[in-house]
Amino acid sequence: MHLGKAWPWISTVARLGLAAVFLIAGGLKVTDLAESGRAVNAYRLMDYDTAKLVGAIQPFLEIAVGLLLLIGLAVRLSAAISALLLVVFIAGIISAWARGLQIDCGCFSKGGDLAAGRNTAYGLDIARDTGFLLLAGILLWKPRTRFSMDGLLMGER
């Protein structure tokens, strides 16, 4: 089976899917930056002031990457930033799990410490983010996509 002509379409689906992920994740956090900071702080990997700063920057970074992917501008660079963010997110979840923390990852929610009796979903969170990492990997490998600014700038139709 030869996928040569299909790759731009496969990459387009990966690009738009990853764009949706980052736009939704960032959009859910950008309306409450203080809550985003508390979610980062729940991982207990940095002091509170640093977590607050990371929590304030993260939604804007996610939205920026999502927009770049959506319009298809600097696809390989956007995919690389996405991959880096996803590796950091996965490492953070693994760290929380290994240390026995009972937190919501905050990926698509407010995040933070879980109420008593609620269970973590670390395995599912890691599997989901690994799937998103696969999408970023596709774009790093085959960044040429349909309906993209990169394509327009290169004279493709």
Task: Tell me the two tokens of residue 16.
Answer: 């738009």
- 105-146 per-position pLDDT tens digit: 888 877 887 877 677 889 999 999 999 999 999 999 999 999
CA dist list (Å): 26 to 20, 88, 93, 146, 149: 10, 16, 18, 24, 22
Neighbours of 95 (CB within 10 A): 13
pTM of the full predicted structure? Answer: 0.91
Mean pLDDT of the chain: 92
Task: Tell me the two tokens of residue 114.
Answer: 């879980």
Q: What is the mean pLDDT of residues 13-37?
A: 96
Nearest to 58, CA basis, from 131, 95, 111: 111
Per-residue confidence (pLDDT) for residue 40, from 0 to 100: 95
Which residues are CB-neighbours of 124 under 8 A, at least 6 positions away?
none
CB 146 within 8 A of CB 75: no
Q: Is 157's pLDDT higher than 70?
A: no
Per-residue confidence (pLDDT) for residue 154, from 0 to 100: 74
CB 38 within 8 A of CB 89: no
Give residue limits of the domains in the chain: 8-152
Q: What is the mean pLDDT of residues 42-55?
A: 96
- Percent of the chain scoring above 70 in pLDDT: 96
